[in-house]
Amino acid sequence: MKFEFKIALRYLFAKKSYNAINIVSGVSSAAVGVVTAAMVCVLSVMNGFGGLIEEMFSAFDPDLRIVATNGKYFSCDSSSFDAVRCMEDVEVFARTIEETALIEFSDKQIPVKLKGVDSTYHLLNQIDSILVDGKFVVYDGAFERCVMGQGVASQLSIGAHFVKGVHLYAPRRNHKVNLLRPEDSFKEAVCFISGIFAVHQVKYDNQLSLISLPLARYLFEYEEDEVTAIEIKLKEGCSVKKVKREIQHVLGEEFLVLDKYEQQADFFRIMRIEKVLTYILLSFILLIATFNIIGSLTMLILDKQEDIKILHGMGANKQMIRRIFLFEGWLISSLGACIGLIVGVLVCLSQEYFGWLKLGNGSEFIISAYPIDLQAFDLLSIALIVLTIGWIAAWYPTHKMNIK
């Protein structure tokens, strides 16, 4: 193998009889390099957007969320939940109630998700960092308050400092609708806007509003110990997977313990599918680019017929001669892969530090430039697919060559 590789390396950089062979070989290597660099850049940008949205979710979602396996609500007044609350790694243990209701302001009415939380909710996540107006207060000691998503506030044309309150309506549980007095079929409450948050995700900004836990219990007629979810913040530095397993063991199969990724399972699944499909599409483009290698290698084989006869006369068998040209084609793709990886990494690093490629005019988006997240696994998988396709492209002409 060492002899064949040295001969192939010599052919790669040696001057050929026809200058066109050098040009075609250079074009082949450049085509592989361009596609490789494109794969690095595209996958890194996708990682960057994924990480950006993950940070947005992280500012709102708890470290762990406990929900019932069956049913919508459950009782948290048990020794199992007391044990979870007293775990060493649990920093914040919060009860929440989330239901659909109707919110009314002036002559506008829209359905929303009302989430009942207590005054320590800001300790559970980073909601203070995503407030765009007002402050986080769900009860000020005298009046019920509401912190709503930016999209909800926009639809209602309301701000955090409005004096007029909003009306909340929720259907009574286990109550038949009275057609003569339909208003009796709803629980009603009034609260005042204290803050507006923006996660920049439709499911939160356009649908969710936060109210106090006692108000949620009143509106949706829940008992003192009934909740729809338990949200937990863990102490810094602890293993989320380890604590999740421990809590799941304590609570049993009646409950699901969801980490941040499982709370947004649909989103992250779509992101993974998009990345895989992009990888496959770029791999097909790479396959087309490597067709040039077949042409350049075929031309090289024709050019080196005299060398093949000499090597054959010196005792080289057919397999050895085929391996020389197989290594030659593989080296062409490897050279393009190395150049493409280096160029791709340099472009990504320059974008990460200087942000030269902007998103529009910068004022219409959350960030001004395309985000970048270089990952070693992506670079390894790109190098692997490029070298594999390059080897396959070199195999065909070498096994079709006629050696007498």
* Average pLDDT for 22-34: 80
Q: Are residues 34 and 144 in the same domain?
A: no
Q: Are residues 297 and 387 in the same domain?
A: yes
Residue 360 pLDDT class (50, 70, 90 cuts):
low
* Average pLDDT for 372-379: 92
Residue 247 pLDDT class (50, 70, 90 cuts):
very high
Q: Are residues 279 and 249 in the same domain?
A: no
Q: Which residue has the higher pLDDT, 332 or 92?
A: 92
Residue 186 pLDDT class (50, 70, 90 cuts):
confident
- 240, 262, 284: which is the final residue of a domain? 262
C-alpha dihedral sign at 54, 60, 63, 69? negative
Residue 22 pLDDT class (50, 70, 90 cuts):
low
Q: Are residues 20 and 72 in the same domain?
A: no
Is the confidence at residue 144, as pLDDT, over 70? Answer: yes
Q: Are residues 135 and 193 in the same domain?
A: yes
Residue 203 pLDDT class (50, 70, 90 cuts):
confident
pLDDT digits (tens, 9 = 90+) for 264-323: 888 888 888 999 999 999 888 888 887 777 777 777 666 666 666 666 666 666 677 777
Q: What is the pLDDT of residue 8?
A: 63
Q: Where are the beta strands (DSSP E) in 297-379?
A: none
Is the confidence at residue 1, as pLDDT, over 60? Answer: no
Integer CA distances (angstroms), 305 to 15, 301, 312, 317, 319, in order? 15, 6, 10, 15, 16
Q: Are residues 248 and 291 in the same domain?
A: no
Q: Are residues 280 and 339 in the same domain?
A: yes
Is the confidence at residue 167, as pLDDT, over 90? Answer: yes
Q: What is the pLDDT of residue 213?
A: 94
DSSP state string for 161-189: T-SS-EEEEEEPTT----SSSGGGGEEEE
pTM: 0.76
pLDDT digits (tens, 9 = 90+) for 113-126: 999 998 778 888 88
How far is it, in rounded angstroms, from Cα 293 to Cα 54? 41
Q: Are residues 279 and 142 in the same domain?
A: no
Strand partners, 74: 227
Q: What is the pLDDT of residue 126?
A: 83
* Average pLDDT for 146-169: 91
Give kind and range of the element (H or E) at residue 356. none
Q: What is the pLDDT of residue 311?
A: 66
CB 211 within 8 Å of CB 115: yes
Within 10 A of 150 (CB to CB), how many other CB atoms are there? 19
- 231, 262, 293: which is the final residue of a domain? 262
* Average pLDDT for 68-79: 88
Q: What is the pLDDT of residue 101?
A: 93
In the chain, how many domains are there?
2
* Average pLDDT for 15-43: 78
Q: Are residues 75 and 118 in the same domain?
A: yes
**Cα 131–chain centre separation:** 23
Q: Are residues 238 and 190 in the same domain?
A: yes
Q: Are residues 129 and 165 in the same domain?
A: yes
Q: What is the pLDDT of residue 9?
A: 62
Closest Cα partner for 210 from 259, 141, 150? 150
Whole-number mean pLDDT of the chain?
Answer: 84
Q: Which domain holds residue 115?
A: 64-262
Look at 100-104, 163-167, 288-292 and tell me which has the smallest mean pLDDT: 288-292
Residue 193 pLDDT class (50, 70, 90 cuts):
very high
Q: What is the pLDDT of residue 3?
A: 62
Is the confidence at residue 40, as pLDDT, over 80? Answer: yes
How far is it, in rounded angstroms, from Cα 177 to Cα 200? 37
Q: Are residues 193 and 326 in the same domain?
A: no
- 262, 294, 329: which is the final residue of a domain? 262
CA dihedral of 141, 147, 152, 158, whole degrees rounded to 10: 60
